[in-house]
């Protein structure tokens, strides 16, 4: 499809999946607004995208601040003259279970749930004036399953799945489609923090959790996000697309290494 002349906002766009999505949009000819709290990284990425011939600008936005969401979304839409896409990627990775405090819950909910909702509300008027568009909320495999000590993060990602369906219903009259993507283990800065000893050591371990026996690259999540925004997905709304290498399809036997059944009879 011809993406030129269209505009997209990507929250959490300074790094990881957000940055890969912003790059994919810009390469397709879309004007992108990078919304993030990391000003140094966001400005650097926007400058790099512009130096390569793309149209990108950075906005310092904390999505838990409703006034700032409205202000920045309006500023970007006024600058571009339209708004077609929103990717709600900004997230708090705070994971607490039995020890979660009120402050932990407030922070997780304000960024992961309320932040995504506020951005959708802030972008809705401009997207409606532009004739519609698409929103992609970034959920997670963690929103589908139980994991230890992850009440805060998993509850938020599960709520994104439900909120996506409600958004899709309410925004359909404005010709705005709303879907979500559930990434599996993806090699990003957050995962790298946990990989003490490096990727060569940990990818074989974590890769056992998916059928493809490896982690995803950020751009492998970005491409399905762009698909859901594209005209090829014009009749897709209110659904979640797992991009997980087969993670959610596996049972407790994983790839067979924990099973005594050999496949013969």
Q: What is the pLDDT along the chain (265 residues), one digit of tens a residue?
A: 899 999 999 999 999 999 999 999 999 999 999 999 999 999 999 999 999 999 999 999 999 999 999 999 999 999 999 999 999 999 999 999 999 999 999 999 999 999 999 999 999 999 999 999 999 999 999 999 999 999 999 999 999 999 999 999 999 999 999 999 999 999 888 888 877 778 888 888 888 899 999 999 999 999 999 999 999 999 999 999 999 999 999 987 677 765 544 444 3
The model's pTM is 0.94
Using H for helix, E for strand and C for coil, what is the string for 158-179? HHHHHHHHHHHHHHHHHCEEEE
Distance CA 175, CA 132 (A): 5
Taking every pair of Cα atoms in the chain, the longest distance, rounded to a whole number of angstroms, is 67
Instruction: Please tell me the CATH code under which domain 7-188+217-245 is placed.
Output: 3.40.50.720
Per-residue tokens: 167:
């958004």
From the candidates 59, 85, 153, 247, give the one annotated as an active-site residue: 153
Segments in 81-216 forming alpha helices (H): 102-108, 114-129, 151-171, 189-194, 199-207
Domain ranges of the chain: 7-188+217-245
Determine which helix (DSSP H) or strand (DSSP E) holds 35, and give its type and residue range.
strand 31-36
Helices (H) and strands (E) in the chain, counts: 9, 7
- What are the φ and ψ backbone dihedral angles of 105, each rounded to 5 degrees? -65, -45
Distance CA 43, CA 23 (A): 14
Q: Is 153 a catalytic residue?
A: yes
Looking at residue 258, its pLDDT comes to: 59
Distance CA 26, CA 198 (A): 31
Looking at residue 191, its pLDDT comes to: 81
Query: For residue 240, which of 183, 187, 197 has the smallest C-alpha distance?
Result: 183
159 contacts: CB under 8 Å, gap ≥ 6:
112, 113, 143
């Amino acid at each position: 499809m011809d993406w030129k002349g269209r505009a997209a906002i990507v929250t959490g766009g300074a790094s990881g999946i957000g940055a890969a999505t912003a790059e994919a949009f810009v390469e397709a000819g879309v004007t992108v607004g990078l919304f993030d709290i990391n000003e140094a990284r966001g400005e650097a990425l926007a400058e790099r995208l512009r130096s390569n011939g793309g149209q990108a600008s950075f906005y310092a936005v904390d999505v838990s601040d409703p006034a700032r969401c409205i202000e920045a979304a309006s500023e970007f839409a006024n600058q571009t003259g339209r708004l077609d896409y929103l990717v709600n990627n900004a997230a708090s990775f705070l994971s607490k279970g039995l020890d979660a405090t009120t402050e932990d819950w407030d922070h997780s909910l304000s960024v992961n749930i309320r932040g995504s909702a506020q951005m959708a509300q802030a972008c809705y008027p401009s997207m409606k004036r532009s004739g519609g568009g698409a929103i992609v909320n970034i959920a997670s495999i963690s929103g589908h399953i139980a994991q230890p000590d992850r009440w805060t993060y998993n509850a938020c990602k599960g709520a994104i799945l439900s909120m996506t369906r409600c958004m899709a219903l309410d925004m359909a009259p404005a010709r705005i489609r709303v879907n979500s993507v559930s990434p599996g283990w993806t090699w990003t800065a957050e995962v790298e923090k946990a990989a003490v000893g490096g990727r060569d050591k940990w990818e074989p371990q974590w890769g056992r959790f998916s059928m493809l026996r490896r982690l995803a690259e950020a751009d492998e999540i970005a491409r399905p996000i762009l698909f859901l925004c594209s005209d090829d997905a014009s009749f897709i709304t209110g659904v979640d697309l797992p991009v997980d290498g087969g993670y959610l399809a596996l049972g407790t036997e994983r790839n067979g290494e924990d099973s005594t059944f050999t496949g013969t009879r």
